[in-house]
Amino acid sequence: MPELPEVETTRRGLALAMEGRSIQRVVLNRPDLRFPIQADFVRRVENQTVDKIDRRAKYLLLRLASGDVLVAHLGMSGSFRVESAGASHEPATLYREIPRLAAHDHVVFEMSGGSRVIYNDPRRFGFMFVAHGAELDRHPRMAGIGLEPLEPPLEADTLARLFDGAQTSLKAALLDQKRIAGLGNIYVCEALHRAGLSPTRLAGAISGAGQFARAARGRLAIAIRDVLLDAIEAGGSSLRDFSGADGKPGYFQHSFRVYDREGAACPKRGCNGTIERIVQSGRSTFFCRSCQR
DNA sequence: CGCATCCCCTGCCTGC
DNA sequence: TGCAGGCAGGGGATGC
């Protein structure tokens, strides 16, 4: 599910609920998510204050007072929700009652102050691990991750360097986390439509010195930044059941121009094309053949 | 090197 | 209604 905007939305929700508070207890409801959970995971996380929550690519980084970092990836279907211990009009006996867990609530963090942060993940493609902060950049899962597209803002010259000589499609190149980190299937499709570029065009073709290449990478850099910022502002996209940690669904899915819109009219002004679906690297690509060249 | 294919897992939607 | 098949926002391994 989650791409950069959804992970960023989750980060903001978790920061409100967890930063400055202590994780008093961790409950693991199963021994594995995508991978077996480390034997010392609970010991290293319990009784630790969460100093700061950052995001790197599609990873959440919960920086603990010990110097350890709790790293979480949401995979395709992972989400966090916060159950607040806040005000309630119920009688005290009911107020104290702990809400029941839902299906696929795999990890529960009981925070100082009484709130609970719950990780739910039906497909279990997500995972968590703890790493020493000083070694995080060299961790096998983190090393080699490409650059963040928003900090600093992606520039056309950077795209020229990243795609120089690439004999792969723009779609595949943009999905490659080792080049740019955080884009997924939705936002790649959306960015290419906004930039007027065909997903099947060779990535290397926008690296050159020619007029087309220079204009194309200029448009693409802006399109990537804009679509990510627009989506973050909307609280991400809520397909199926995604919602931010505050429980509110995002609404950017209403702003999709091509994703999951096969057969619809191209929304670009003055374009009378139709959105098509093709398959690239085994995944759906949505685009308008008429205005994306 | 780049690509397609398959896999992990569950749920939902479609068509029969 | 039930069932089979296809599909899903990610990412990694494998083989060509």
Positions of strand C less than 7 angstroms from a protein CB: 7-12
pLDDT at A97: 58
Distance, CA of A73 to C1' of C10, in Å: 9
Measured in whole angstroms, the distance separating CA A50 from the mean position of its chain's CA atoms is 21
Tokens of A147: 């650059």
Is A284 within 7 A of strand C by CB distance? yes
Q: What is the pLDDT of residue A281?
A: 83
**Amino acid residing at A75:** G
Question: Whose CA is closest to A23, among A96, A99, A117, A106?
Answer: A117
Q: Provide the CA A200 to C1' B1 distance, Å, integer.
A: 18
Distance CA A287, CA A165 (A): 24
Domains and CATH numbers, chain A: 4-138 (3.20.190.10), 156-288 (1.10.8.50)
What's residue A62's pLDDT?
Answer: 97
- A238 CA – B7 C1', rounded, Å: 26
Predicted TM-score (pTM) above 0.85: yes
Q: Coil, strand, or helix at residue A256?
A: coil
Sign of CA dihedral A139, A141, A142, A143: positive
Separation in Å: B3 C1' and A70 CA: 35
With beta carbons less than 8 A apart as the criterion, state whether A138 and A144 touch: no
Calpha distance A278→A286 (Å, rounded)? 7
User: Which residue positions in chain A have pLDDT lower than 70?
Assistant: 1, 86-98, 240-244
Residues 228-267 of A with CB under 7 A from strand C: 236-242
User: Which pLDDT score is estimated for A84?
Assistant: 85
What does the block give as tokens for A9? 């939305």
Q: Which nucleotide is nearest to A6 (CA to C1')?
A: C9
CA distance A291 to A286: 13
Active site residues of A: 2-3, 58, 283
pLDDT at site A87: 46
